[in-house]
């Protein structure tokens, strides 16, 4: 399928892109499953305390079972002692199920979402960036010009070098490359921007 490719002045030419990427059937059920799994795996569950069995120290009995007049204790690692284990504390990621995503699910969901963006006129393909854009203000004006102020920008490596510094601090813009984005990223932003080289690089994965 042919789609428009723009230069920075807005002049249009056309390029051929695989139908399955930009005009495929949108599988909403699969997209929902992938987004649910991705979102679940993104949640921060880092908090962890040591349980009694994870405390380093002597395992010998701290004093005689009888004759001391005190309560019976076997170990300094018990939760009631300072420096002992934490009873019922958070266990970190080990306590949560990691939801697996296979490659097929990832590829199909990404193609579905890109196709949906294209149907809604929210897909933009630019020529590769040949000249460096140094100023954030200049890049921001460019995004405003193309009504792309809430966008996922997926670039080839050379284009990324040219505009990364000018783009990285603009709100509601994420700049990345073909190897580092997910279906969740596409769904999060209103528009998706490719360069000619980056969409051709993505195309190779589906051919």
Domains of the chain and any CATH numbers? 2-44+98-204 (3.40.1370.10), 49-89 (no CATH)
pLDDT at 95: 66
DSSP state of 156: -
Average pLDDT over residues 57-72: 87
User: Which phi and psi (to 5°) does residue 10 adopt?
Assistant: 95, 5
pLDDT at residue 143 greater than cutoff 90: yes
pLDDT at 206: 84
To the nearest whole number, what is the mean pLDDT of the chain? 90
pLDDT at residue 63 greater than cutoff 70: yes
Average pLDDT over residues 170-197: 94
Q: What percent of the chain has pLDDT over 70?
A: 97
> Whose CA is closest to 155, among 201, 118, 101?
201
Helix 28-42 with 103-119: angle, nearest 10 deg? 120
pLDDT at residue 44 greater than cutoff 70: no
**Separation CA 126–CA 192 (nearest Å):** 11
> For the segment 80-122, what is each residue's pLDDT rounded down to a tens digit?
899 999 998 888 776 667 788 888 999 999 999 999 999 999 9
**Separation CA 173–CA 154 (nearest Å):** 11
Average pLDDT over residues 162-185: 93
pLDDT at 159: 93
pLDDT at 41: 76
Token representation of residue 136 = 């954030």
pLDDT at 101: 82
Listed in sequence order, the residues at least 6 apart from 68 whose beta carbon sits closer than 8 Å to its beta carbon are: none
Average pLDDT over residues 33-58: 84
> Whose CA is closest to 1, among 67, 204, 15?
15
pLDDT at 12: 92
pLDDT at 102: 87
């Amino acid at each position: 399928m042919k789609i428009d490719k723009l230069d920075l002045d807005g002049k249009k030419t056309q390029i051929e892109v695989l139908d399955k990427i930009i005009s495929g059937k949108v599988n909403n059920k699969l997209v929902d499953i992938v987004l649910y799994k991705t979102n679940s795996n993104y949640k921060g569950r880092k908090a962890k305390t040591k349980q009694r069995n994870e405390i380093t120290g002597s395992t010998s009995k701290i004093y005689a079972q009888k004759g001391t007049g005190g309560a019976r204790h076997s170990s300094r690692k018990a939760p009631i002692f300072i420096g002992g284990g934490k009873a019922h504390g958070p266990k970190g990621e080990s306590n949560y199920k990691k939801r697996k995503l296979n490659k097929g699910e990832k590829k199909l969901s990404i193609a579905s979402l890109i196709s949906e963006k294209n149907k809604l006129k929210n897909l933009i393909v630019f020529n590769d960036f040949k000249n460096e854009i140094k100023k954030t203000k200049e890049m921001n004006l460019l995004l405003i010009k193309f009504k792309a102020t809430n966008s996922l920008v997926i670039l080839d490596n050379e284009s990324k070098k040219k505009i990364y510094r000018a783009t990285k601090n603009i709100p509601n813009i994420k700049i990345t490359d073909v190897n580092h984005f997910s279906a969740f990223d596409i769904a999060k932003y209103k528009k998706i921007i490719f360069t000619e080289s980056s969409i051709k690089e993505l195309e190779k994965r589906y051919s």
